[in-house]
């Protein structure tokens, strides 16, 4: 008779939990996964996928305008927000089914309900006790929203994906990638958009040239960026919402979206009672193999607050399955993880920023280019692309690649391979570019920035 009901019990069917569970099952483990909300987690339901679909929708506004320069006459157009959300919901439902099939085909038992950790080898699912050799916490994260007078009138990104109609005026609070992306989405769909951030410039942690370039481009588009201020209060009026900022300014709006970050979703999982150590923000403290201080309890993905990115959670899940059930101890690789911000225009980055390189003791050479994309020579759009390379002067190794412009994520993905192969600037220079593309600029930059 087996000592435990399962070899692995996973809490959370997001990207990381699903990958860890199905790979563990493929290695012969008996696996169960519990989910209380929706299969696919944040990314599929209220994150990456629906966000990118809304970004696509917003870009059509530019495409219609730009068509005139290429001889097209575009007739009357109208944005049907309800239809967009309905189509988005249909696609998400399809993906939920795909995740259910993936798990089922792998032999993973899917359990719907709220799971809590009781002890090192026991989980309670809506009151029913289940035992497992290993427990994996992959519960993800949840949007944060501070409390202040009237804060109950603001929504988070979770609710933004299900608005029944588009607001005429929106205020977005926060300077991270979620806030920046929603600013582009709402503005592109015809909403008068204001973004408020308490810092002096948004996208903290990104290269300063990305931050400055994007702010400039967004302002050119007509997005009202207000830095070094925050919300003091929200008052509901007959016309909508009146927002008072900490600098005394007053703005009228119909919707207020809080995008001030996400916190690990761990507070109602019984982890502390089971002896699992958490950080102040609720993140599960784990070692390089994703193991907590309790030998049988592991954690991956957003709930560890290591790097809140879907592909990273998937990599952590793969490593965990190999470590526990394939006799191949693996550690996730966090070096040169490429990142894209689907803002308008897009941003892409991999490797060290210029500031990070200097702080790490490098003496970097900087190569930077600003140019108008070929597409806009006929469209007439006043949009500039920025590309930047950070190079170690002593070894010629490329330390970082940064871009603001169309398809930045698509371009940076390929450069991430080069950085992981320790490519040098000379090797970039020796690479023949594809002409005419924006991407070729990364292999034709020859002049160092003074």
Residue 220 has a pLDDT of: 97
Query: Can you give the pLDDT at residue 221?
Result: 96
Q: What is the mean pLDDT of residues 346-355?
A: 98
Listed residues 260, 279, 298: the one ending a domain:
260
**Domain annotation covers residue 449:** no
- Whether residue 134 sits in one domain with residue 11: yes
User: Which one-letter DSSP state was computed for residue 121?
Assistant: T
The residue written with tokens 């507070």 in the block is 267
**138 and 20 within one domain:** yes
Q: Are residues 212 and 182 in the same domain?
A: yes
Q: Out of 215, 238, 260, pick the residue that ends a domain.
A: 260
* Global pTM value: 0.96
Query: Residue 161: CB partners within 8 Å, gap ≥ 6?
Result: 46, 50, 51, 54, 85, 88
Does the pLDDT value for residue 330 go beyond 80?
yes
Residues 270, 247 share a domain:
no
- 348 is written with which tokens? 């892409």
Q: What are the tens digits of pLDDT across the range 45-63?
A: 999 999 999 999 999 999 9
Q: Looking at residue 125, which CATH number applies to its domain?
A: 3.50.50.60
Q: What pLDDT is attached to residue 272? A: 95
Dist CA 105 CA 31 (whole Å):
12
Whether 1 is covered by a domain: the verdict is no
Residue 81, in any domain of the structure: yes
Say how far apart CA 181 and CA 170 lie, in whole Å: 13
Q: Percentage of the chain surpassing pLDDT 90?
A: 99
State whether 205 and 286 are in the same domain: no
The Cβ of residue 293 has, within 10 Å, a number of other Cβ atoms equal to 13
pLDDT at 65 (0 to 100) = 95
Which 3 state secondary structure label does DSSP give 370?
A: strand
B/e letters for 305-328, b = 16+ CB within 10 Å, e = fewer, are bbbbbbebbbbbbbbbbbbbbbee
Would residue 334 count as lying in a domain? no
Instruction: Please count the other Cβ atoms lying within 10 Å of the Cβ belonging to residue 112.
Output: 14
Q: How confident is the model at residue 2 (pLDDT cuts 50, 70, 90)?
A: confident
CATH number of the domain bearing residue 345: 3.30.390.30
Q: Is residue 448 one of the residues assigned to a domain?
A: no
Residue 214 burial (CB < 10 Å; 0-12/13-18/19+)?
Answer: buried
Asked if 37 and 74 sit in the same domain, the reply is: yes
Domain tally, the chain: 3
Q: What pLDDT is stored for residue 450 in this prediction?
A: 84
Q: Can you give the residue range of the structural domain that contains 374?
A: 339-443
Catalytic positions, please? 435
Give the pLDDT confidence score for residue 425 in this predicted structure: 98
Query: Among the three residues 287, 302, 325, which one is the final residue of a domain in this structure?
Result: 325
Residues 125 and 175 in one domain: no
Distance of CA 204 to the CA centre of its chain: 14
List the beta bridge partners of residue 299.
Answer: 137
pLDDT attached to residue 389:
98
User: For position 400, what pLDDT does the model report?
Assistant: 98
Same domain, 133 and 158: no
* pLDDT one-digit tens code per residue, 161-198: 999 999 999 999 999 999 999 999 999 999 999 999 99
- Residue 219, classified by CB atoms within 10 Å of its CB into exposed (0-12), middle (13-18) or buried (19+), is exposed
Residue 22 lies in a domain: yes
> Are 195 and 215 contained in the same domain?
yes
pLDDT tens string 395-447: 999 999 999 999 999 999 999 999 999 999 999 999 999 999 999 999 999 99
* pLDDT tens per residue, range 206-258: 999 999 999 999 999 999 999 999 999 999 999 999 999 999 999 999 999 99
For 268-278, what is each residue's pLDDT tens digit?
999 999 999 99
pLDDT digit string (tens) for 284-323? 999 999 999 999 999 999 999 999 999 999 999 999 999 9
User: Does residue 21 sit in the same domain as residue 133?
Assistant: yes
Does residue 90 sit within a domain?
A: yes
Confidence of residue 1 (pLDDT cuts 50, 70, 90): low
Can you tell me the distance from the alpha carbon of 16 to that of 34, in angstroms, rounded to the nearest whole number? Answer: 13
Task: Clarify whether residues 10 and 113 are in a common domain.
Answer: yes
Asked if 14 and 130 sit in the same domain, the reply is yes
Average pLDDT of the residues of the chain:
97
Residue 13 covered by a domain: yes
């Amino acid at each position: 008779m087996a000592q435990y009901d399962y070899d692995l019990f996973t809490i959370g069917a997001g990207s990381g939990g699903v990958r860890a569970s199905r790979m563990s099952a493929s290695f012969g483990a008996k696996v169960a996964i519990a989910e209380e909300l929706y299969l696919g987690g944040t990314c599929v339901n209220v994150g990456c996928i629906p966000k990118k679909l809304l970004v696509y929708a917003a870009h059509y506004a530019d495409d219609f305008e730009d068509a005139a320069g290429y001889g097209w006459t575009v007739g009357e157009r109208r944005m049907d927000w309800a239809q967009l959300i309905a189509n988005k919901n249909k696609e998400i439902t399809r993906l939920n089914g795909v995740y259910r099939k993936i798990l089922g085909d792998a032999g993973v038992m899917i359990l719907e309900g709220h799971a809590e950790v009781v002890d090192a080898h026991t989980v309670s699912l809506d009151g029913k006790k289940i035992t497992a050799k290993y427990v994996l916490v992959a519960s993800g994260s949840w949007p944060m929203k501070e409390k202040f007078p009237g804060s109950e009138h603001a929504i988070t990104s979770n609710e933004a994906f299900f608005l029944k109609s588009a607001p005429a005026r929106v205020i977005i609070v926060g300077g991270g990638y979620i806030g920046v992306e929603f600013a582009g989405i709402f503005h592109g769909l015809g909403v008068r958009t204001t973004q408020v951030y308490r810092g002096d410039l948004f996208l903290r942690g990104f290269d300063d040239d990305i931050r400055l370039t994007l702010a400039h481009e967004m302002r050119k588009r007509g997005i009202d960026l207000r830095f070094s201020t925050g919300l003091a209060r929200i008052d509901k009026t007959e016309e909508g919402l009146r927002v008072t900022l900490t600098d005394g300014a007053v703005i009228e709006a119909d919707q207020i979206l809080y995008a001030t970050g996400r916190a690990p979703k761990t507070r109602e999982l019984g982890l502390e009672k089971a002896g699992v150590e958490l950080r102040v923000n609720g993140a599960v403290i784990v070692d390089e193999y994703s193991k907590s201080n309790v030998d049988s309890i592991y954690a991956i993905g957003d709930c560890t607050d290591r790097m809140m990115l879907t592909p990273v959670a998937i990599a952590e899940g793969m490593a965990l399955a190999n470590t526990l059930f394939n006799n191949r101890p693996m550690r996730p690789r966090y070096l040169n993880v490429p990142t894209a911000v689907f803002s308008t225009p897009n941003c892409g980055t991999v490797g060290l920023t210029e500031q990070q390189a200097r702080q790490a003791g490098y003496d970097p050479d900087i190569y930077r280019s600003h140019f108008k994309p070929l597409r806009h020579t006929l469209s007439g759009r006043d949009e500039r692309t920025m590309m930047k390379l950070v190079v170690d002067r002593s070894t010629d190794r490329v330390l970082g690649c940064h871009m603001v412009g169309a398809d930045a994520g698509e371009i940076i993905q390929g450069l991430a391979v080069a950085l992981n192969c320790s490519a040098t600037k000379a090797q970039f220079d020796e690479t023949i570019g594809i002409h005419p593309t924006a991407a070729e600029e990364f292999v034709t930059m020859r002049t160092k920035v003074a």
